[in-house]
């Protein structure tokens, strides 16, 4: 408890003190990418644009979760992110989204399958060569599909999925999939909130010590408002995948649109 209070006091000092912390304590340029949802066709050109922008400078790339489901190429997305390559000067952090949580739940608890496929899991199974049962009530079929999916996942994919993080803090930025509870310490957040929150977080305009960089809630274009930066532009439906470059006092957006790249 004392350690939590000390951390909370420190972030409050950063927010209200005269001296603001740099964007990244190590002086790196920060990049973040929103929800991919199986759109490998958008992920690769967006990564290429970021790699060109890096120009060998030390940097950190944070992926905000929801790599799978809905789009048709979830396996290709995981393969690309789990096995690289990435520039030598780039550190990578991969966060868990609610869709990765649902995928892992299906492996452990097959009866969650009907709910998962209704929210895009069917496409993920197909990308690994596994067909979902036709009927939600087919308990045996869901157990068999879960086993087949577990066996179809390459070991490198399984390790990568199990290692996904819930959040990452760098300087004044709190990277997370969905959002936070602003009434709690940054280091004392509930997992369900980090993965699933939406309306309550978006409507909470209280000041918080860190700027939240998140995905999860699709919006027509990236959002920058006081205290948060939203990067989910609904790639699976809109064909637009968005990234941000974060430097002190400035945010630059990049987007990949089906065969066309645009810098905003």
Q: What is the 3-state secondary structure (H, E, C) of the chain?
A: CHHHHHHHHHHHHHHHCCCCCCCCCCCCEEEEECCCCCCHHHHHHHHHHHHHHHCCCCEEEEECCCCCCCCCCHHHHHHHHHHCCCCCCEEEEEECCHHHHHHHHHHHCHHHHHHHHHHHHHHHHHHCCCCCCCCCCCHHHHHHHHHHHHHHCCHHHHHHHHCCECEEEECCEEEECCCCCCCCCCCCCCHHHHHHCCHHHHHCCCCCCCEEEECCCCCCCCEEECCEEECCCCHHHHCEEEEEEEECCEEEEEEEECCEEEEC
d(CA 106, CA 113): 6
pLDDT of res. 264:
52
- Binning pLDDT at 50, 70 and 90, where does residue 249 land? confident
Q: What are the residues whose beta carbons fall under 8 Å from the beta carbon of 261, sequence distance 6 or more?
A: 45, 46, 49, 254, 255
pLDDT in tens, 15-70: 434 334 446 887 889 999 999 999 999 999 999 999 999 988 999 999 999 999 99
Contact assessment for residue 31 and residue 245, using Cβ atoms and an 8 Å cutoff: yes
d(CA 240, CA 261): 9
Residue whose pair of structure tokens reads 């048709």 in the numeric block: 72
Domain 21-263 architecture:
4-Layer Sandwich (3.60)
- Binning pLDDT at 50, 70 and 90, where does residue 258 land? confident
pLDDT of res. 7:
55
User: Does residue 262 have a pLDDT over 70?
Assistant: no
Domain boundaries, the chain: 21-263
Contact assessment for residue 129 and residue 75, using Cβ atoms and an 8 Å cutoff: no
Contact assessment for residue 33 and residue 229, using Cβ atoms and an 8 Å cutoff: no
Starting from the edge strand earliest in sequence, which strands make up the sheet with 228-230, in order? 167-170, 173-176, 211-214, 228-230, 223-225
pLDDT in tens, 120-163: 999 999 999 999 999 999 999 999 999 999 999 999 999 999 99
């Amino acid at each position: 408890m004392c350690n939590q209070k000390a951390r909370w006091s420190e972030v409050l000092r950063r927010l209200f003190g005269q001296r603001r912390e740099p964007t990244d304590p190590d002086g790196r340029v920060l990049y973040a990418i929103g929800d991919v949802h199986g759109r490998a066709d958008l992920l690769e050109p967006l990564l290429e644009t970021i790699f060109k922008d890096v120009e060998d400078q030390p940097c950190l790339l944070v992926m905000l979760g929801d790599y799978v489901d809905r789009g048709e190429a979830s396996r290709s997305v995981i393969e690309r992110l789990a096995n690289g390559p990435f520039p030598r000067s780039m550190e990578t952090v991969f966060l868990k989204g609610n869709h990765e949580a649902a995928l892992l739940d299906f492996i452990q608890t097959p009866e969650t399958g009907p709910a998962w496929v209704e929210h895009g899991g069917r496409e993920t199974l197909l990308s690994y060569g596994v067909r979902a049962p036709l009927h939600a009530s087919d308990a045996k079929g869901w157990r068999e599909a879960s086993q087949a999916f577990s066996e179809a996942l390459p070991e490198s994919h399984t390790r990568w999925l199990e290692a996904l993080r819930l959040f990452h803090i760098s300087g004044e930025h709190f990277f997370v999939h969905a959002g936070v509870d602003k009434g709690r310490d940054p280091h004392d957040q509930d997992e369900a909130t980090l993965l699933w929150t939406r309306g309550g977080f978006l409507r909470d305009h209280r000041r918080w010590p860190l700027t939240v960089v998140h995905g999860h809630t699709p919006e027509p274009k990236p959002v920058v408002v006081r205290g948060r930066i939203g990067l989910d532009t609904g790639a699976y439906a809109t064909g637009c995948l968005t990234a941000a470059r974060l430097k002190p006092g400035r945010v630059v957006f990049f987007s990949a649109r089906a065969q066309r790249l645009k810098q905003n």
